[in-house]
Amino acid sequence: MNFKKSLLTISYLFSFSAILAGLTLINSCKRKPAYQPYKFTGDVVVDGKNLVQLKCTRCHSLVPVDALPKDVWLNHTLVNMAPQLHISTYGGSSYYKNNPLDTTGATIAEWTAILAYYKKAAPDTLLPAKKPIPLINDWAGFTLKKPAPVSYVAFTTMLATNAATGHMYSADAVDEKLNTWDSNLKMDSLAKLPSAAVGVSFGKDSVGNNVGFFSCIGRMAPIDFPNGKVVKVNLDAQHVNNDQTYIASDLPRPVGTVTGDFNKDGLQDVVVCGQGKFKGGVYLLKQNKDHTYEQQTIYDKPGAAQALAGDFNNDGWTDVMLLTGSGDEGLWLLLNNQKGGFTLKNLLHLPPVYGSSSFQLVDMDHDGKLDLVLTCGYNYRDSRILKPYHGLYIFTNTGDWNFKQRWFYPINGCTKAIAADFDGDGDIDIATIAFFADMKNTPAEEFIYFEQDKPFEFKPHTLPISQLGHWMCMEMTDLNKDGKPDLVLGNYADGFMFQDGFKPNWDQHLPLIVLENHTKK
């Protein structure tokens, strides 16, 4: 391909940038010695593989060429990758002439070879994953409980139960209210928040009040617009609406908080996941003696999806385990260095198309070590197609937080998993929701209850609830106080449609439903 034709190819690719972009890539790449041009072999596949390994793994794990179909690679993914490699549609790329020591980009010849590789080697389509065990359509021991419908379209973004009080809360993206629910599913509005709350951590303030640290995302869709906030709400106040404190503002789409005394000063600090899109990070909000908060960046990349706090190396200091769902995707351990900061250790790397969305640590095999239950399936960033590697994963802990994949069940667009002994037989069952399920063909996969009857053998039950709502969030609680864990599903009734021609066919006026647990063994 000659130079003029190369530029035409690049211009053609960029004409699609207003539609969809490709994989979420990050801007912080490792610096290396002075650039040495790649020596071409003349073999399209060999050169393409070499260049992709050389250029594309500086910022994230390698994405297999067959992970996406040809049209997505050429029209979306590579469109988004080009600027990260300093490829310009205007006059080619003169980047190396002005920056000879930078190795993070690509020459026009290298970029053209990468395009040719994907055009030749990528598949035309992705075959759907076959479910290894057929879905069982029944109620699996659960019964349905519904609140009264509301007059507006429900956009439930958060469900949470305060373990200390038993109170259940929800949030809505449109009216931006914080609501509370009683055991009869009667809703009461507590407060108006600055934007939709998508996560919360509960705790106590200095005088013993129950408080919530709410992650108010700002913008729901992935976009670099830093107007998110963390709001501290006194949940015991007589007028909750007037007892709110912004402890952090101008954050890049905060999606969750965890609390802990990370510096052992007796005060509760907060860690915030700022997911962003191309810009984001994880931030420590250190509480000062006057109860103000000082912000410190502890992970300087976008993509944070969820964090857990705990002493993961048993040294007496609170650490953070972090899941990233785009860019440099995977599971990370931020070890407390006992000096006010953290040391980063990677536990699991995944290609940045998996869309990791949630994780839980639970001892699945009863060997005394916490295993990893992981969901992959966020599907509204760029390559919005059904992906056979989305689903529910179990990784066993072989020691010192080394994980080995033990089990996988494909679920399109899997969003969250809750692992618990729902039926009281001594082993761990798992409930999943899939906000980006294949609603055209298999809407039942939007909620699956995996009943474990033998070690790592599960019966997947799909309850007939797909026409009751579109489940963005899920919470475990004991609403009827019978000692059995119930499940609450939150309905985000409109928007985020990614399948052409599909129109919502579920109830738009139910904020949530409860699956009351009556399982028996």
pTM score? 0.90
Say what the pLDDT of residue 82 is. 86
Average pLDDT over residues 331-347: 97
Q: Which amino acid is at 480?
A: N
Contact between residue 210 and residue 200 where contact means Cβ atoms under 8 Å apart: no
Q: Where are the domains of the chain?
A: 44-121, 136-517
pLDDT tens, position by position, 68-112: 999 999 998 898 888 888 886 444 455 445 555 455 688 889 999
**Would you tell me how many other CB atoms lie within 10 Å of the CB of residue 209?**
14
**Would you tell me how many other CB atoms lie within 10 Å of the CB of residue 101?**
10
Inter-CA distances, 341 with 12, 257, 295, 305, 315, Å: 46, 17, 12, 21, 15
Which residue from 126, 133, 138 is spatially nearest to 408, judged by alpha carbons? 133
Average pLDDT over residues 299-322: 98
Terminal CA-CA length for the chain: 67
pLDDT tens, position by position, 292-301: 999 999 999 9
Inter-CA distances, 219 with 157, 173, 276, 478, 490, Å: 12, 9, 10, 32, 19
Which residue from 338, 337, 342 is spatially nearest to 271, judged by alpha carbons? 342
pLDDT tens, position by position, 26-35: 333 444 455 5
Say what the pLDDT of residue 132 is. 95
Give yes or no for residue 23 having a pLDDT over 50: no
Give yes or no for residue 18 having a pLDDT over 60: no
Q: Which tokens in the block code for residue 243? A: 């007892």
> Domain spanning 44-121: which CATH class is it, in words?
mainly alpha
Which residue from 255, 193, 249, 192 is spatially nearest to 222, judged by alpha carbons? 255
Say what the pLDDT of residue 4 is. 38
What CA–CA distance (Å, rounded) separates 68 from 70?
7
Superfamily per CATH, domain 136-517: Integrin alpha, N-terminal (2.130.10.130)
What CA–CA distance (Å, rounded) separates 360 from 416?
9
Say what the pLDDT of residue 104 is. 64
Same fold, 44-121 and 136-517: no
Average pLDDT over residues 175-203: 96
Average pLDDT over residues 214-228: 95
pLDDT tens, position by position, 223-236: 999 999 999 999 99
**Largest distance between two CA atoms of the chain:** 74
Give yes or no for residue 410 having a pLDDT over 60: yes
Residue 239 — pLDDT band, cuts 50, 70, 90?
confident
